[in-house]
Amino acid sequence: MRNLQFSKPAAWMTPLLLMVSILCVAQAPLPEPVTDQETELGRAVYNELRDKGEIIESSPLYESLRPVTEAISRVAQSHYPHPFKFFLVHEPHPNAFATPGGNVYVVDSLLYFVKNTEQLAGTLCHEVSHTIHRDAVARMEQDHKIKRREIGAAILLGPTLAQAMAISMIGDLNSLAYSREVESSADVTGSDICAAAGYNPWGLVWLFQEFQNADSEQLPQLLSDHPANGSRIQTLEQHFRDNPSVFSKFNPDSKSATPFSVPKDASSVQFLRPRDR
Ligand SMILES: [Zn+2]
């Protein structure tokens, strides 16, 4: 008869189990299966980034990122039909960008760039809000002068066009030329998400304030293209004042921030291998 009780693992297994569990927590999520045109576009961008060797498959940095992304996802998920998934990528400038389908890409250096957890959470809440608002899809429709259903039809024609659109989208997302209104709207929704997730939504304001006097070469893409940061701060502050029941409990003073720490040795990074073509 089989013993159904769980027995303690043998001593020799302990380091093995520990290793397996560390590998599990430090790895990139699996992308969402393709179910509609948003996930299809998201998948095409994922494939392009993977083929460029940018997606980090495993890194201790995932452990620092995970608590923040889990808390944000718990709140944001009810506003979007596909699961949010956060991937670390390696690119020259600290940045974060969201694609249709729920994938959010976080450049590894952003985790070293932010001064506190609230700044990181604010950035990620902002990106998730672009997805909820379908800003990338709207932007693409505008850029390519084609309607949403035509994008869907175009993708059915074959992977080449979807791939071409993905490349174009990566270019768009990196240059981040959303209008000030679109950015402010993502800031506001992002602040609601951050507040509900328990992160002080002043984090994004602190990030803007810090950069107003900083060297523009050093700025993350998500902010450097927007000289109108002042008006984005004003819009956020107005939103906080208009909704005291949500926001008055948060301390506007950045001295109250929670330090964000990355693992001491985060150099053991593995990249996803490009697909076999
Ligand atoms: Zn944005």
Structure confidence by residue, pLDDT tens digits, 212-255: 766 666 555 555 445 557 888 999 999 999 999 999 999 999 99
State residue 46 phi and psi, 5-degree precision. -55, -45
- Could you tell me the distance, in angstroms and rounded to a whole number, from the CA of residue 191 to the centre of ligand 1? 13
Per-residue tokens: 83: 């699961």
pLDDT at 261 over 50: yes
| 98: three-class secondary structure by DSSP | strand
- Interatomic CA distance for residues 79 and 14, integer angstroms: 41
Contact 75, 69 (CB under 8 A): no
pLDDT at 78 over 80: yes
- Interatomic CA distance for residues 26 and 183, integer angstroms: 31
Which residue bears the tokens 């000030």?
Answer: 180
- Could you tell me the distance, in angstroms and rounded to a whole number, from the CA of residue 42 to the centre of ligand 1? 17
- Could you tell me the distance, in angstroms and rounded to a whole number, from the CA of residue 267 to the centre of ligand 1? 29
What's the chain's average pLDDT? 80
pLDDT at 7 over 50: no
Per-residue tokens: 15: 């380091």
Amino acid at 71: A
Residue 153 binned pLDDT confidence (cut-offs 50, 70, 90):
low
- Interatomic CA distance for residues 59 and 265, integer angstroms: 10
- Could you tell me the distance, in angstroms and rounded to a whole number, from the CA of residue 188 to the centre of ligand 1? 11
- Could you tell me the distance, in angstroms and rounded to a whole number, from the CA of residue 2 to the centre of ligand 1? 57
- Could you tell me the distance, in angstroms and rounded to a whole number, from the CA of residue 47 to the centre of ligand 1? 22
* Comparison of pLDDT for 208 and 62, the residue scoring more: 62
Query: What are the CA-CA distances from residue 68 to residues 74, 172, 205 (Å)?
Result: 10, 26, 18
pLDDT of residue 80: 96
- Could you tell me the distance, in angstroms and rounded to a whole number, from the CA of residue 96 to the centre of ligand 1? 9
Per-residue tokens: 4: 């159904």
pLDDT at 263 over 90: no
- Interatomic CA distance for residues 156 and 34, integer angstroms: 12
- Could you tell me the distance, in angstroms and rounded to a whole number, from the CA of residue 13 to the centre of ligand 1? 46
- Could you tell me the distance, in angstroms and rounded to a whole number, from the CA of residue 263 to the centre of ligand 1? 28
pLDDT of residue 265: 73
pTM of the model: 0.80
Q: Minimal CA–CA distance to 178: which of 123, 145, 223?
A: 223
- Interatomic CA distance for residues 168 and 178, integer angstroms: 15
pLDDT of residue 143: 66
Length in residues, the chain:
277
